[in-house]
Amino acid sequence: MSELSTVTGPMRRSLVFATDELEPLVALALRAEKAGLDRVWTTEYVHRDAVARALAIALATERIGVATGIAYAFTRLPLAMAGLAADVQRMSGGRFALGISSGTRGVRRWYGAEFDPPAPSIGAYADALRAAWAENPDLQLPPRLYAAALNPIMTRTVARTCDGALLHALALSRTHLHERVLPALREGLAERSDEAPFEIAAWCITSIDEDEERARELARRQLAFYLSTPSYSTVTAGTSWDSVADDVRRAFDESGRKASWGELSSLIPDAVVDELTISGSPAVARERALALEEELRELGVTELVFQLAGADVAAGELIASCERIADVLAPGPVSPSPQSTGALAGGTNSEVSE
């Protein structure tokens, strides 16, 4: 079995715009660029498109990397996605990365789409993207391809077929991370047919406020949102807080699935907030980000992605939270860096949704 490679260079720090808001994104990306963050990621959900958002940001910025985190694979045929991503890559000057996902079963139902079985479908989709990019005469440098990873089968597939894994915020459950995610990444990397660098971007729910309790409350709401989803139940198995997810799902179901995340947040204990989030005052957030960065670096993670706590949060507060993350956790203005700095190679020499 492959062993983890050591990340010797600085870990990337980036920000994911996990929000429905559209108009503020360009200004927020410019602020992130000025602050020195390495990359911004855009999200996709019903009524929003990650690639369109990424393109708008790319055209308005100069240095910062831009990526989708994530775009649903099932909404576009592989050839169409390949052409779209290739155009964004060219218009961004090579700063674009495509992050894809199979979505949860519930999300696929909303779109009226089928994408089963999810892991093999993502693998085939990744192969089709690469084939299309290889045949594109106008594309000198294909975008790097990432896919969301949380559960073992998908994680193994992503490690085998993509350039990088996007670890869901719940993957920071240390039991799940060490007992399921990392072994699956090792297995997938051992099955790769190339020695190309493999990158791991770890999402972390991040909430910063001078009022530390307010910051932690917003983090609790985001965790309540995630833990209400049956697809994520495997993450809590074997942990000391396995019952928390059961409590959240039960309360959500008993409310007729109408309870707000604020109403369910009291079910999330402090220990879970501490393990899965960076939340608190600016000083506390800096300290926790550094500690998490050092821990993840030893595991081969190449990028720490600060995720907005956007569940049940008003637009103005969410925008302010995004600005605080950029101001507090950005490493400072930097010179342009190569698009790919991953330290993990595929094959037998290194290792590291659905």
- For 154-170, how does the pLDDT look when each residue is reduced to its tens digit (9 = 90+)? 999 999 999 999 999 99
How high does pLDDT run on average in the chain?
91
Domains present along the chain, CATH in parentheses: 12-334 (3.20.20.30)
- What is the structure's pLDDT at 332? 73
Q: pLDDT band at 346, cuts 50/70/90?
A: very low
| pLDDT of residue 337 exceeding 70 | no
The pLDDT assigned to 4 comes to: 46
pLDDT greater than 60 at residue 267: yes
Q: Which residue has the higher pLDDT, 242 or 259?
A: 259
Q: What is the 3-state secondary structure (H, E, C) of the chain?
A: CCCECCCCCCCEEEEEECCCCCCCHHHHHHHHHHHCCCEEEECCECCECHHHHHHHHHHHCCCCEEEECCEEHHHCCHHHHHHHHHHHHHHCCCCEEEEEECCCHHHHHHHCCCCCCHHHHHHHHHHHHHHHHHCCCCCCCCCEEEEEECCHHHHHHHHHHCCEEEECHHHHCHHHHHHHHHHHHHHHHHCCCCCCEEEEEEEEEEEECCCHHHHHHHHHHHHHHHHCCHHHHHHHCCCCCHHHHHHHHHHHHHCCCCCCHHHHHHHCCHHHHHHHEEEECHHHHHHHHHHHHHHHHCCCCCEEEEEECCCCCCHHHHHHHHHHHHHHHCCCCCCCCCCCCCCEECCCCCECCC
Is pLDDT at 3 greater than 80 in this prediction?
no
Q: What is the pLDDT of residue 231?
A: 81
Condensed to tens digits (0 to 9), the pLDDT of residues 175-215 reads: 999 999 999 999 999 999 888 899 999 999 999 999 999 99
Give residue 10's pLDDT band: very low, low, confident or very high (50, 70, 90): confident
Say whether pLDDT at 352 is over 80: no
Residue 351 has pLDDT above 80, yes or no: no
Choose between 351 and 139: higher pLDDT: 139
Give the mean model confidence (pLDDT) for residues 280-292. 97
Average pLDDT over residues 265-289: 97
